[in-house]
């Protein structure tokens, strides 16, 4: 994989989230929390999950031995804390709308620091259950961006159920 691919995916992620958030900011507190039937039952729970997942992957990358752990982006104070997947963040949409662009900016900063050697290497890490893995780092980055796209699709459906027209998942917009 090439760093140009990671940068395109990072930019796409950042822009798609920004467009999605323009719609999310129109939700009432009741719509933000409304159970809509999925595994993650509300827009809030989906936004909380994707935020924690992206944060957790970046945190794993920051704690790796070798070059990955030395990137400047990981000096950000945000990485001084941890989240649990059992947490439900952002009681109000405004809290999410303030936090998500910061995390997306850090993801983009990280993408801009990578080189092809980083992408070709393996990452040795533990998941949230403590299970140990060693996987190709470039592939794991693709997983992170794919995970975001998957859940934005779910949020898109929830927004349609709530009567909000949306179309924020076009990768071609950043090419």
The parent domain of residue 29 ranges over: 3-174
**What per-residue confidence (pLDDT) applies to 132?**
94
**What per-residue confidence (pLDDT) applies to 111?**
95
Q: What's the average model confidence in pLDDT over 48-55?
A: 98
> What percentage of residues in the chain have a pLDDT greater than 90?
87
What residues pair up with 38 in beta bridges, in sequence order?
Answer: none
* pLDDT band with cut points at 50, 70 and 90 for residue 103: very high
**What per-residue confidence (pLDDT) applies to 102?**
97
Q: What's the average model confidence in pLDDT over 113-120?
A: 92
User: Could you give the angle at which helices 43-62 and 137-161 cross, rounded to 10 degrees?
Assistant: 170
Cβ atoms 59, 82 nearer than 8 A: yes
Cβ atoms 3, 116 nearer than 8 A: yes
Q: Which two tokens stand for residue 157?
A: 């459906």
Instruction: With a cut of 80, say whether residue 66 has pLDDT above it.
Output: no
* pLDDT band with cut points at 50, 70 and 90 for residue 69: confident
**What per-residue confidence (pLDDT) applies to 146?**
96
**Which residue in 10, 132, 113 sits closest to 69, CA to CA?**
113
**What per-residue confidence (pLDDT) applies to 154?**
97
- Residue 28, classed as helix, strand or coil, is coil
Q: Which two tokens stand for residue 35?
A: 């159970």
DSSP string, 91-141: SSHHHHHHHHHHHHHHHHHHHHH--HHHHHSEEEEE-TT--EEEEEHHHHH
Q: How many domains does the chain have?
A: 1
Cβ atoms 105, 99 nearer than 8 A: no
Supply the CATH number for residue 161's domain. 1.20.120.450
**What per-residue confidence (pLDDT) applies to 174?**
83
Cα separation, 151 vs 125, in Å, equals 23
* pLDDT band with cut points at 50, 70 and 90 for residue 55: very high
> What percentage of residues in the chain have a pLDDT greater than 70?
99
């Amino acid at each position: 994989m090439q760093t140009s691919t990671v940068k395109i995916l990072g930019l796409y992620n950042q822009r798609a989230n920004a467009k999605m958030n323009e719609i999310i900011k129109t939700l009432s507190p009741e719509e933000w929390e409304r159970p809509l039937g999925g595994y993650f039952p509300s827009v809030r729970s989906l936004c909380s999950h994707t935020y924690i997942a992206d944060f957790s992957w970046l945190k794993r990358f920051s704690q790796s031995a070798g070059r990955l752990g030395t990137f400047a982006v990981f000096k950000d104070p945000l990485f001084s804390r941890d989240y649990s997947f059992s947490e439900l963040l952002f009681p109000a949409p405004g809290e999410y709308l303030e936090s998500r662009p910061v995390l997306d900016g850090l993801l983009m900063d990280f993408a801009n620091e990578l080189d092809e050697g980083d992408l070709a290497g393996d990452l040795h890490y533990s998941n949230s259950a403590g299970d140990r893995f060693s996987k190709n780092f470039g592939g794991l980055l693709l997983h992170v961006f794919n995970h975001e796209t998957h859940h934005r699709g779910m949020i898109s459906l929830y927004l349609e159920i709530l009567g909000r027209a949306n179309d924020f998942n076009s990768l071609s917009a950043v090419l």
